[in-house]
Amino acid sequence: MQAFNQSTRVVITGMGLVSPIGASLEASWLSLIEGRSGIAPIASFDHSALKTHIAGEARDFDPMRFISPHELKKTDRFVQMAIGAAQMAVDDSGLDWRRLDHDRMGAIVGSGMGGLPYLCAPHEKLLQGGPRRGSPFYIPSVIANIAAATISMRFDLRGPNYCITSACSSGAHAIVDGARWLRSRECDVMIVGGSESVMTPLSFSGFQALGALSTRNECPREASRPWDEDRDGFVIGEGAGIMILENFEHAQKRGAKIYGELLGFGVTSDAHHQTKPAPDGEGAARAINKCLNSAGIEPTEIDYVNAHGTGTEIGDLAETAALKASFGDHANKLWISSNKSMIGHTMGAAGAIESVFALKTLSHGIVPATINLDRPGEGCDLDYVPRTAREKSLRYVLKNSFGFGGVNVSILFSRV
């Protein structure tokens, strides 16, 4: 890519969402600000042999709204949700597809694990019937880049088209890369975000072996408890968040509705451990600092942080430490909340879904709560907006997204 042109402004002009609390942007947003949890007993697979029996499944999503029955048979669920969210985002943007230069448009969709359900299911057939039971749709359906590729084909996007896989920061990384293509002046419009569905016994057993999952099976809606003293791990969720990034001049010229501006970002690596964050959240703090510096914004100008907030002890403490390191005394004045308290951890889609929510927070002036936060745990002593949403006019919203492998992404959104 060419060097950044910092004068090129990047704005968000369309958004689409599939989540455990709604099959559309507006349905999900309404549930979020009302504090309604989407965590429930698992319905999509046999979980009897597992210790965890709860998840955030996108139960209201109907792929038949967006995909023909013929196509449905050969697409994994993460692709189906990505297509649905992308179509909603395109419709929301009001773009006139006939007047666009499709060579200057692209798609980047992050996914941490790709088509895992479609990957697992044929394995049993292989064991029972041998290689002849294989499907010609198998490989194209499970590769992680197929969501972006399918969106590219659906909307005739002839610019960059690829997937970013960086664990739970995949969706956030995709947004950052989309902004880079616009800032380089090589593209005018990018469809970006993340999609993930890992609703399989295999993935649950893997996270269970790490001791990462909540087993509060008797009270599903109370299971995801970021920063709470009684938290016992995160809850797996699924969904897709897609947004339309557009050159500001391009958007302004067509009179587009603008949700906000992507003002800056910071990307770092802990270079520390496969699953544990760097001590004291050092790597996350560097990402936050880089983000603020790239935007030319002072820490004291930030009022709200849409946190990574998984509900694991080590993660919650590291993010709290990072915020204190980056914001100093101002950290005590921040409002901080975790959408995961209601939707669970949507893995590679989390950074994108929560960025969509961050932009809704910015445009509506309503800060979603962290539900299930009854007694903050030791060391969790900031304002995490417990239990009830709050209203406040915001100028900037900082979004944090971190992942296994020590990846850290912070994005700053602002009003235009």
Return the active site residues: 168, 308, 345
In angstroms, what CA-CA distances link 385 with 33, 157, 367, 409? 12, 40, 8, 22
